[in-house]
Amino acid sequence: MYSLPFMVVGGFPRFQYYGYWFSLLDPYPEYWGEDWYETDDVYVDYYIDGYYLFNRRFPGRPGIAVSIIF
User: pLDDT tens, 5-14?
Assistant: 878 888 778 8
Measuring CA to CA, which residue among 32, 55, 26 is closest to residue 43?
55
Helix (H) or strand (E) holding 40: none
User: pLDDT tens, 20-29?
Assistant: 999 999 988 9
- Please state the pTM of the whole predicted model: 0.84
Q: Where are the alpha helices (DSSP H) in the chain?
A: 36-39
User: CA-CA distance, 28 to 24, in Å (whole number)?
Assistant: 9
Say if residues 55 and 36 touch (Cβ distance below 8 Å).
yes
Give me the residues paired with residue 23 across strands. Answer: 14, 67
